[in-house]
Amino acid sequence: MKLCSLIGLLLLVGFPPATEAAEIRADELRLATWNLYWLSAEPASGMVRRSVDDYAHLREYARQLDADVIALQEVDGPEAAARVFDPVIYAFHFTSDGGNRQKTGFAWKRTLKVEPQPDLVELAISRTRRGADILVHLGGRSIRLLVVHLKSGCFDDPMGSSKRACSVLNRQLPVLESWIDARAAESVPFAVLGDFNRRFVDGDTFWPELDDLEPAEADLTAVTQGRTSECWGGRYPVYIDHIVLSRSAGLWLLPGSFRQQLYDPADISRRKVLSDHCPVAVTLRAPEVRLSSLP
């Protein structure tokens, strides 16, 4: 049986909780985002032709990351993700746009209770990517997560620029803002993670449009703001991969938990077959649910 078919079978049958996953605290969530750069399900295929050894290197980095939920970008579905994240430990959900090989999606540890939500289809403007959406139950509470991969090429240009990339990004902005406002109106803690392809720097107009405090839950925290990326020796020092938390989710943020996972300098020759993005992660700790607050 081909390995790809075997992985597909593993994804369907389900597993008992693995030992590694059983160590998750019921009220904590290690949350990460990682753009895996045209990750295909089969070696030597797709836009980035990886060897079996290249996949093994990615698996080791995923093992070191050890996040509970990972927002993924540029992945050709669950079979590709299962080459990097052990399907005994992780389950997967990806957008359903079958012809897109740069899907967004999630991997999460099987001990978690997760409910996939409909794709944010409207985000896929001019053949860009849909948003993948899930609801995660944590310590008696819930948090909504959206992974995005927005249009590349308008990293810090004015949003009113005539560049085509900026025009597309400018059309994606109200779609994302509407999703944020809908969640904020529900008073549900939420996070938006992924490759925004936008630098949240002083004077940027994209970020203030999202972080407009209307409704109040839309008082957002971008955990990457004010930090310098050291990915691949600081090649691109200003983050475009972000984890954005709603007001209440921001209160769950465990101080000092931010981490950018770097690649081993010895792997510099593999930079084009690993990823040009380094994973970033934080830990959230949900407040205790008091019995008096339960129905």
- Measured distance CA(38)–CA(77) in Å, rounded: 11
Q: What is the pTM of this model?
A: 0.90
pLDDT in tens, 70-108: 999 999 999 999 999 999 999 999 999 989 999 999 999
Handedness of CA 78, 83, 88, 90 (dihedral sign): negative
Instruction: Using pLDDT thresholds of 50, 70 and 90, give the confidence band for residue 19.
Output: very low
Per CATH, is 27-285 categorized as 3.40.250.10? no
SS3 state at 158: coil
Of 131, 129, 88, 132, which is closest to residue 114 (Cα–Cα)?
Answer: 132
The answer to whether 245 touches 220, Cβ cutoff 8 Å, is yes
- Measured distance CA(29)–CA(140) in Å, rounded: 13
Omega cis (within 30) before 78: no
* Domain definitions of the chain by residue range: 27-285
Of 215, 207, 209, 210, which is closest to residue 187 (Cα–Cα)?
Answer: 215
Mean pLDDT, residues 245-273: 97
Instruction: Using pLDDT thresholds of 50, 70 and 90, give the confidence band for residue 9.
Output: very low
Handedness of CA 194, 142, 227, 163 (dihedral sign): positive
Instruction: Using pLDDT thresholds of 50, 70 and 90, give the confidence band for residue 290.
Output: low
Cβ neighbour number for residue 96 with a 10 Å cutoff: 14
Mean pLDDT, residues 44-58: 97
- pLDDT at residue 67 above 50? yes
Q: Give me 176's structure tokens.
A: 């994302």
The reported pLDDT for the residue numbered 139 is 84
Instruction: Using pLDDT thresholds of 50, 70 and 90, give the confidence band for residue 20.
Output: very low
- pLDDT at residue 209 above 90? yes
Average confidence score pLDDT of the chain: 91
SS3 state at 266: helix
pLDDT in tens, 106-151: 999 999 999 999 999 999 999 999 999 999 999 889 999 999 999 9
Cβ burial of 146 (10 Å; 0-12, 13-18, 19+) is: buried
The reported pLDDT for the residue numbered 4 is 52
Alpha carbon dihedral 18, 23, 26, 32, in 10-degree steps, equals -90
- According to DSSP, the β-strands at 190-195 and 141-149 are parallel
Which residues contact residue 268 at a Cβ distance below 8 angstroms, ignoring those fewer than 6 apart?
A: 232
